[in-house]
Chain A
């Protein structure tokens, strides 16, 4: 609630003499509406989120096999993660590689296609729907089948490559290339950030572009001087969200490798490893520790993004 700054700070001449306001009523006057609007989220946070989150933090210091009582083991889980867990290292490598490549590529595609579609060309709704369709498949079991049809040794991709004389390996089952098939899958489902970019592009008023063309600005200049700056809040959002999602990515690897992370753990995403530990090997305590390590990493990255965002993100307030 914005305080009316035009009143004199000591203010009282226009107000009837009253008892000095208590701390609570002052707090309420200044922050009341803020907290009222925040109320649904606060209730949800305290009742549904913080409890389980704190319990999982507690569990990370225990040995919990799901079926019996948790056993306190102190920092043993964390110690193991950082000193003697090769699968942790492997899964971290896989996940970082995935984040590094899938996020930028996905965003570039999403923005490019959104810009293309923003032109308002003929058939626009159809194209937009077509590009969004893959994202609708979500966590379908069918995706594993489809991806194998494309990227197995005798899959479509190799058929096409054969036309230009290349004999491709079995991309999806070769440890050198399997992760790339998952990266391609992530990019294939660029529909969501594309829609968000589109919404952001649509919020840029047309008259700005009109005024700029009248001034003789080329399309490229318009893109650089108008579109990009006004789009930065959306770009920032998409970048942060896609990165967080990529770090937490689970379902594609789960479905395509049938939960194994193979071949040779080349598709062992971090959350997949976590899932194996929790439900496959009855080590929910260790899995909780893994989860909090991941949270710390994501939090550091996100904080860094927010801190540096002030240098390039252009808000209107």
Chain B
């Protein structure tokens, strides 16, 4: 309980002051700083992260970074529990969906004071710095550029001999190419059903000049948009171009549940930094493509998001040391070499240049994709409002209702809009 922790924090604070006083009187003792770091990911990411921690320790022997990692579903309850108990680790990995929630509740430390003063923000891409800015303050340092992307089964697509343009495919293309694809790849459809993917929906809205949310955090689309969105996907489903309802419903989140990995569909809607992970799961050569356009040469849908951030706990007793480590992590070329593109394309140009020669094929593809996207990408949207995570869940459920025929797109449009408004109101 936070109210318990306040008393405890007082005690800890008092002890720290005493300790500091004692230290000052004994200059012979080296200042050993211990930083706690928590992040989500698998062993592959952990190895790289700890590799960077070791590098850092070599350069700064008085700082020890102790890491802890968990998989995505376990990570958030643990961080929330630790924070509720007043025991938040110094450095916490954040996601764009949650950083707003944590930042607005005051548990993350604002980093503006460190910009240019311990935190080399000039070396980081401007839009990446902006991504970590909530309500005007900097709360997180982006660790990788990521954008929406279709991961494609390049081998199956090539087999079908269709004219699939990874950087320019449209929704109409998907429908048109479906029959030829199905003929060449029996048992497989061309694309997954993306009607429940919030990133894709947002991308589609942006191409039409709309958005998910206004800067004030209100809904920025209307019922007619939602109806048309579901109608597009119903059309694709009826034409056999995308996965059927129950095939798509098998995809519950983990990569191995996607139609792509199960060889039921040739594409899946993911993000650019997942190409490497998907490739590891499949023998077929994979490719990467944009989210479909609504018409040829329609720009503005994509934007350069951040795959994840490192944030600093407001309760951390070693903020300066933590900032120094995060700075090293994000902008040091040596660290970048250890990290590769596992977390996404590096956010600092000098790091990108340093690692370019050593990339393997899937990594190279991912980096090239993000770079080429510059031409058609639009501005980064404002930070999502609180309860944005709930809207994402609601879209998924609603899309399943429509796909299984429980609700028509005409009814689903107003129903979904009402649901979103309820969610935003409740969170306000």
Contact = CB atoms under 8 A, between A and B. Distances in A.
Chain A partners chain B: yes
Interface of A: 55, 65-70, 144-145, 148, 152-153, 169-170, 172-175, 254, 256-260, 262-265, 276, 279-282, 284
A67 B3 contact: no
Contacts of A174: 245-246, 249, 404
B81 to A, nearest CB: 8
Given A68-B106, A69-B3, A281-B390, A170 B247 contact: yes
A144 B256 CA distance: 11
Contacts of B387: 281
Interface string B105-126: 1110000000000000000000
Contacts of B253: 258-260
A276 B393 CA distance: 10
- Is chain A's binding surface mostly helix, strand, loop or mixed? loop
A152 B105 contact: no
Given A55-B1, A264-B404, A153 B247 contact: yes
B243 to A, nearest CB: 10
A173 B107 CA distance: 39
Given A67-B84, A174-B249, A260-B396, 20 more contacts: A66-B81, A67-B105, A144-B252, A148-B250, A170-B246, A174-B245, A175-B406, A254-B73, A258-B253, A258-B254, A260-B253, A262-B400, A263-B404, A264-B400, A264-B401, A265-B397, A280-B393, A281-B390, A282-B80, A284-B84
A252 to B, nearest CB: 13
B83 A67 contact: yes
A284 B83 CA distance: 13
Interface string B72-83: 010011001101
Contacts of A264: 397, 400-401, 404, 406
Interface residues of B, number: 37
A279 B105 contact: no
B250 A173 contact: yes
Nearest to A264: B400
A65 B406 contact: no
Nearest to A286: B426
20 contacts: A65-B105, A66-B80, A67-B83, A68-B2, A68-B107, A145-B256, A170-B246, A170-B250, A173-B246, A173-B248, A173-B249, A174-B246, A175-B249, A262-B400, A263-B246, A263-B400, A264-B400, A281-B387, A281-B390, A282-B386
B396 A262 contact: yes
Contact of A67 (B107, B390, B406): B107
A273 B394 CA distance: 13
A251 B247 CA distance: 23
Which of A66, A70, A254 has the most B CB atoms < 10 Å from its CB?
A: A66
B76 A175 contact: no
Contact of B73 (A66, A152, A256, A259): A259
A184 B84 CA distance: 37
A173 B400 CA distance: 10
